[in-house]
Chains A and B, each alone.
Chain A
């Protein structure tokens, strides 16, 4: 049976509805299953980031709804929504967005602290994650002492720390050189393969698209194609519904 993690129903997002309306997403419908490695691509302004923000509960749709493992995200408000994000959604941002005054270890630990995880379990989990992203030797380094690729790997570890349902990665390789990007994608692929971690990327980086097993193309706020690598000959409009 399919294990649907993200279920988006007829979702639209219009900015400035009362002044000069800008339709960022228009009646989008999609679902993502557990263990997918999916890319949302499209030109600038196509609505990629808006889609990720809405799925991440950082923004509210004008109409439609987002279900995460059956929980309607649009019905959650305030601290309930924050708590839901804390336990279910991992974020990787384009600009790494690590806390500059904390070390790699502390950046990862911080999110576990927010979850109220006991210190000993936190320590074990952080060390395990640092090993997974191959940064054990950088545990005590602050972001300014690490390369962009290393910082983004810490960001991935931080996103993984609370064992979320899925990870949203908004242009994660945009600021990375080829080697760092490849290294980062290798790690993400391994996590996806070994731990069935679901990844949803927004990108126009061909290096990411090459690795994706599913590519969703957005144009003018609408999904224009949704292609799976195992099924590249099939234009899976059925999944768009």
Chain B
């Protein structure tokens, strides 16, 4: 009966209740949708970069990340290989030899990142290898390269052409070579597309005079192994002289961008919720003023102030829950739609996204955590707003209330 009482009380002023519930629904919808776009865009970006190329954890020789030169490489010995093999059921390892180099073709030259890698491991564990758009993969011992689509376009090259690489090898040696381009790959990050050149690990080691040396070991969790567990294992394996980095350290610009954007989103939703809080409070104040004589009567006939306060808090929460449910339902539809049909950015906006290294699409991602947090915030606001009538009730004197 108490629930019935609360429910009917809400509909005393139908229009006001609808307006208040709608404002709550709108704010929940807006907050969830905004967070879902943020989560979708960034998770898409992170998955693109981590799942397709960077991996969640990388191991380097200590100091390599601050000064990315080939002299900071470390030996990829047989004993290291065999110890890595012990974890082959749970962790996939990809050895890479990476350095900056000058790539030339004809009259054109461009700075590039040479990635010497075990292409079979890349194919086994990362998905960028599925993005070959032209040609074929080189054999493990072949002196050939695969180019990112962007750099190929800039150097006006295609599969079958020849590329000249020139740079510094291990311990100051000269590294220079002419390589057959076996294929082109479209990488997930437009930035990577513009400067990555891939080569079989052995060929790269030969070019750079760095036999059995690598700069990077990418660690990939296999068979649902958690990243935290992977990290613990890797930390136990590589105790000294190594730096173990997670993706936010590897991609600090993106990590900072996500942090800044997350703060912006929180500020925006905070302002939104503040407006809602005042609207909610206004509704409760009006309701309180209108029903004061009734509250006086209820207290006179034997309703305790505590019971009345609970009733009003319940009404306030019920109103917010109505709005929250409507907001969740609405946002679920919109978020699901854009998850299936992400917005593709075109024109200058799309180009701007690409310049920042982002794929120019805006997908959404439905997250139960986001929904629970946003719903929780609104219910908390409703609860806090209900403090006004609750405090008013505890200050109310029956006789004065009835007289009003």
Residues of A within 8 A of B (CB): 53, 56, 58-59, 79, 82-83, 85-87, 91, 93, 95, 97, 99-102, 106, 109-111, 113-115, 158-159, 162
Contacts and interface: CB of A to CB of B under 8 A. Distances in A.
Interface size class, chain B: 20 to 34
A115 B300 CA distance: 14
Contacts of B302: 82-83, 85-87, 111, 114-115, 162
B396 to A, nearest CB: 12
A114 B4 CA distance: 15
A79 B304 contact: yes
Contacts of A85: 300-302
A99 B399 CA distance: 17
10 closest cross-chain pairs (CB), A and B: A86-B302, A101-B8, A97-B297, A58-B399, A58-B398, A59-B399, A82-B304, A114-B302, A85-B302, A79-B304
Nearest to B2: A113
Given A58-B399, A95-B293, A97-B294, 5 more contacts: A56-B300, A83-B302, A99-B298, A110-B1, A113-B2
Contact of B300 (A58, A79, A99, A106): A58
B304 A100 contact: no
A82 B402 CA distance: 15
Interface string B130-174: 000000000000000000000000000000000000000000000
Interface in B377-404: 398-399, 402
Nearest to A168: B300
A115 B398 CA distance: 19
Contacts of B306: 79
Nearest to A94: B402
Interface string B7-36: 011011000000000000000000000000
Q: Which of A102, A115, A158 has the most CB of B within 10 A?
A: A102
Contacts, number: 62
Contacts of A56: 300
B307 interface: yes
Given A91-B300, A91-B301, A97 B402 contact: yes
Contacts of A114: 301-303, 307
Nearest to A109: B1
A99 B299 contact: no
12 contacts: A58-B402, A86-B302, A87-B302, A91-B297, A93-B402, A99-B298, A100-B12, A100-B294, A106-B1, A109-B1, A159-B301, A162-B302
Contact of A93 (B11, B297, B304): B297
A100 B297 CA distance: 12
A184 to B, nearest CB: 18
A102 B5 contact: yes
A87 B302 CA distance: 8
Nearest to B9: A101
Nearest to B306: A79
Contact of A111 (B293, B294, B301, B402): B301
A114 to B, nearest CB: 5
A160 to B, nearest CB: 12
Contacts of B307: 114
Interface in B341-386: none
B1 A158 contact: no
B288 to A, nearest CB: 16
A109 B299 CA distance: 16
A101 B12 contact: yes
B301 A101 contact: no
A114 B294 CA distance: 16
Contact of A53 (B9, B298, B299, B399): B399
A113 B300 contact: no
Nearest to A162: B302
A177 to B, nearest CB: 23
B294 A99 contact: yes
Contacts of A53: 399
A159 B307 CA distance: 19
B1 A113 contact: yes
